Structure 1
Amino acid sequence: MDGGAVTLFLCGDVMLGRGVDQILPRPGSPELREDHVRDARTYVRLAESVHGPVPAPVDPSWPWGEALRWLERYAPDVRIVNLETSVTRSDAFAPGKAIHYRMHPANLPALTVARPDVCVLANNHVLDFGRPGLEETLDSLERAGLRAAGAGRSPAEACAPVAVPVPADGRVLVFALGARSAGVPSAWAATPRAAGVAHLPELSADTAAAVVRHVRETRRPGDLAVVSVHWGSNWGYRVPRDQIRFARLLVDGGVDLVHGHSSHHPRPVEVYRDRLVLYGCGDFIDDYEGISGYEEYRDDLRIAYLVTVERDTGRLAGLRMLPLRARRLRLEPAPDEDRVWLRTVLDRISDGVHIALDTDGTLALGQPAATPRTGTGP
């Protein structure tokens, strides 16, 4: 932390289950019940078919690769990830789902190695093995010293923010919500009798007002408020109007940062009333290498977001984006041409925001566009 500012690391979906789990030291059962794949090790072979042999077992740090070195270099004050997998030994596959993600609890060192302060669980894979699987996930994270937001054993626990202390008696409050538009069913909502997620039934003005009330009731002077939302479709750059309106209503109500995820690739960046809105951070760790389709979105490229916020005002003080590339189920530095490609795309789709390529190879906010465009994304 530099003076009166706090720097946060944020990323999109961290999917340490399925194929990634299989190369870690303590893989769980490889059984799957997908239409075309019945063994999780198939995803390892797909990755190998395009990028070469993947060692196994790997050190727990392997999936994070170069991201860990950058985290050490930039030393963010708070680290927030969307953990999009259940952490369970269960074989009770949730019915009616095409894809199920799980990692063995013994492989949690592959998460703790990144030292996340907050693991967001309000997403569409955390109940892939039912409510017992979610309870085991919560227990496993707690035993590992990790804090979860967006899921719990009751509605109050699921909706409660994680409060991360920062120097000078401040806190960063992280609230997490899972929207129906991202495939989070209403049946997954936490109830007084059953564990579940903090469910967002609709992106309406009334729902935004309820979130704002909850933030205001919880925060105290000196707190920064982050709302992490799993929403929207997997592909495409266009952000629906209801997401834009919802994010802006949150900021109007006092939220300092909106952390959106679910899309498999980065979506537009917006600065609204001097607050940052990330509409889609894209995947960060997964086992998608070798799967064809949607190549135009370059979902092999990943971004680590470093967001600096003024402590006293909540205003955005800086944004640095670290470009990475997935190879052999590991993150490596993105080549120069890929950094340029990411910069060009983000600059094109982000209304009123200019993305610059810095001399160190990272992406950053440049001077605002002379005439802000209307809408977000093409």
Structure 2
Amino acid sequence: MNGSRRRFLAATGTAVAGGCSAPESDPVSPTDHERTETTIGFAGDTMLGRDLNGHYGRDDVDPASVWGDLQPRLESLDGVCCNLECCLSRRGDPFPGRTFHFRGDPGWAVPALDAGNVRFASLANNHAMDYGAVALTDTIDALEAAGIDVAGAGESPAAAREPATFSVGAVDVAVVSFADRYVGYSATDDRPGIAHIKPDPADPDTQRIVGEAIERAQANDPDLLVASVHWGPNWVERPSKLLVDFGHWLVDRGVDLVHGHSAHVVQAIERYDDGVVLHDTGNFVDDFGIKGDLGNDRSFLFEVTLEGGRLEEIRLVPIAIDDGVSRASEDEAAWLRETMRARSAPFETTYERDGDGLVVSL
């Protein structure tokens, strides 16, 4: 039983004995306790390099303007978690053998993340070391100096696999972060890098590495245990059976929320047992352009609300990406609602209309 479930049972006056629930002799009414609500935004791939540097890195441009009219929404949340799909550094050389290299100038990118209310950034992905080890360590240093927690990369394999622990609103959060690509960026005993794994629940190394990281996270007794995972190929609308099985395996081991990213398009939300899998949260900000009719320039901000430490609902706020972020137009939002419903149909996830977006009750 995770920390969230224990706190929920305690708040509702329920004791657990012998694996069954039984009323306490003197139950306490929930109204006797202050009920607290926390909402955390989960966002997809966040790339603050290349062409974005040329605009938002200028002295006459406010870094916060990258968020457009979405910024008030971001500020209204208790915090935001994202996958940082680039390094933040002015140093390093392009990593050999790679087609794309993403690097943002920390002089504007870090203030932009702060203005977007980002509290955590996953660094386990296939672009964190695009400019070598020095740029990766610069990224970690710059984010931590700004009070933004990180996981998924570090000076050694042990450091890269170390959970991030922090508080958002009334919720204690722990995040483990892993990527299934790029193996060439893996942390080694001699070089910083990312936490790389095979997203296969039958793989012994994965069982050991990820299992041990989850156990370390659970030792902090978090209200919310998140696995932020960069998994699967780009430009794919639905997760493979292997990734679905791996998401279930993570929940079976105590993860409350799987924060998936990598495909660059939004995929399904799945409720599984006591957990939730965001199979892919799509893009958040980038200069990738439009890839066919996949809608990679349209996405959601996934707002996860907890009440008394318990997952209550997920609100999907439609966004549009065009070298910056904005609230989606009426037509874009309609496309996103229809698309998310279709991509979630295999998991029988039910959405209710919520303004221009959607909401899932948990």
Look up the match of 1:21: 53
Determine which of 299, 303, 314 is the counterpart of 2:300.
303
| Structural mapping, 1:1-378, within 5 Å | 3=35, 5-26=37-58, 57-73=60-76, 75-76=77-78, 78-107=79-108, 108-166=110-168, 171-180=172-181, 184-185=182-183, 187-205=184-202, 206=204, 207-208=206-207, 210-219=209-218, 220-289=220-289, 291=290, 293-294=291-292, 296-309=293-306, 311-312=308-309, 314=310, 316-327=311-322, 329-350=323-344, 351-358=347-354, 360-365=355-360
Paired with 1:215 and 1:191, the residues of 2 have a C-alpha distance of 20
CA contact (8 A) 2:217 2:225 kept: no
Counterpart residue type for residue 215 of structure 2: R
Between the aligned partners of 2:274 and 2:335, the Cα distance in structure 1 is 26
Q: Which amino acid aligns with 2:135?
A: G
Whether the aligned pair in 2 keeps the contact of 1:81 and 1:116 (CA below 8 Å) is yes
Q: Displacement, 1:311?
A: 4.8
Separation in 2, partners of 1:337, 1:310: 33
Structure 2: which 5+ residue stretches go unaligned? 1-33
Secondary structure in 1 aligned to 2:246? helix
The answer on whether the counterparts of 1:346 and 1:355 sit within 8 Å (CA) in structure 2 is no
Query: TM-score scaled to structure 1, two decimals?
Result: 0.80
TM-score, normalized by length of structure 2?
0.83
**In 1, are the aligned partners of 2:229 and 2:261 still within 8 Å (CA)?**
yes
Secondary structure of the residue aligned to 2:64 is: coil
Larger CA deviation: 338-347 vs 211-220: 211-220
**Which one-letter code corresponds to 2:213 in the other structure?**
H
Letter in 2 for 1:165: S
Paired residue secondary structure (1:341): helix
- Conserved? CA contact 1:92–1:129, under 8 Å: yes
Q: Deviations over 1:99-137 (max 9, x none)?
A: 000011212212221131111100111100111221222
Are the aligned partners of 2:57 and 2:105 in contact in 1 as well (CA < 8 Å)?
Answer: no
Q: Comparing 338-347 with 159-168, which one deviates more in the overlay?
A: 159-168
Checking the alignment, whether the CA contact within 8 Å between 1:208 and 1:249 is kept in structure 2 is: no
Q: What displacement does 1:91 show?
A: 4.9
Aligned residues of 1:343 and 1:356 also touching (Cα < 8 A): no
Shift of 1:230: 0.3
- Computed over aligned residues only, the root mean square deviation of the Cα atoms, in angstroms, reads 2.2
Tell me which moved more, 278-287 or 216-225. 216-225
CA distance in 1, matches of 2:208, 2:69: 40
Report the residue type matching 2:353 in the other structure: L
In the TM superposition, structure 1's runs of 4+ consecutive aligned residues that sit over 4 Å from their partners are: none
Cα distance, 1:200 vs. partner?
Answer: 1.0
The CA deviation at 1:215 is 1.4
1:43 alignment partner in structure 2: none
Whether the aligned pair in 1 keeps the contact of 2:334 and 2:356 (CA below 8 Å) is no
**Letter of the structure 2 residue corresponding to residue 110 of structure 1:** A
Kept in 1, the 8 Å contact 2:160–2:194? The answer is yes
When residues 248 and 5 of structure 1 are mapped into structure 2, their CA distance, relative to the original with a 3 A threshold, is farther
Residues 238/165 of structure 1: CA separation in 2 closer, same or farther (3 Å cut): closer
Structure-2 change in CA distance of 1:81 and 1:352 (3 Å): same
Q: Tell whether the 8 Å contact from 1:6 to 1:310 is kept in structure 2 after alignment.
A: yes
The amino acid across from 1:212 in the alignment is G
* Counterpart contact for 2:75–2:116, Cα < 8 Å: no
Q: Any stretches of 5+ residues in structure 1 without a counterpart? A: 27-55, 369-378
Q: 1:210 to 1:130 in 2, by over 3 A?
A: closer
Match of 1:371 in 2: none
In 2: Cα distance, 1:209 partner to 1:249 partner: 13
The CA deviation at 1:208 is: 4.2
Q: How far has the Cα of 1:217 moved from its partner?
A: 3.3
* Equivalent residues, number: 323
Deviations 1:266-297 (A, max 9, x none): 011111114210111111100123x5x42x21
Q: Structure 1 pair 189/69, CA: closer, same or farther in 2 (3 Å)?
A: same
Q: Which moved more, 1:194-203 or 1:218-227?
A: 218-227
The answer to whether the 8 Å contact 1:340/1:357 transfers is no
CA contact (8 A) 1:23 1:57 kept: no
Cα distance per residue 1:126-153 (max 9 Å; x no partner): 1001112212222222333322111111
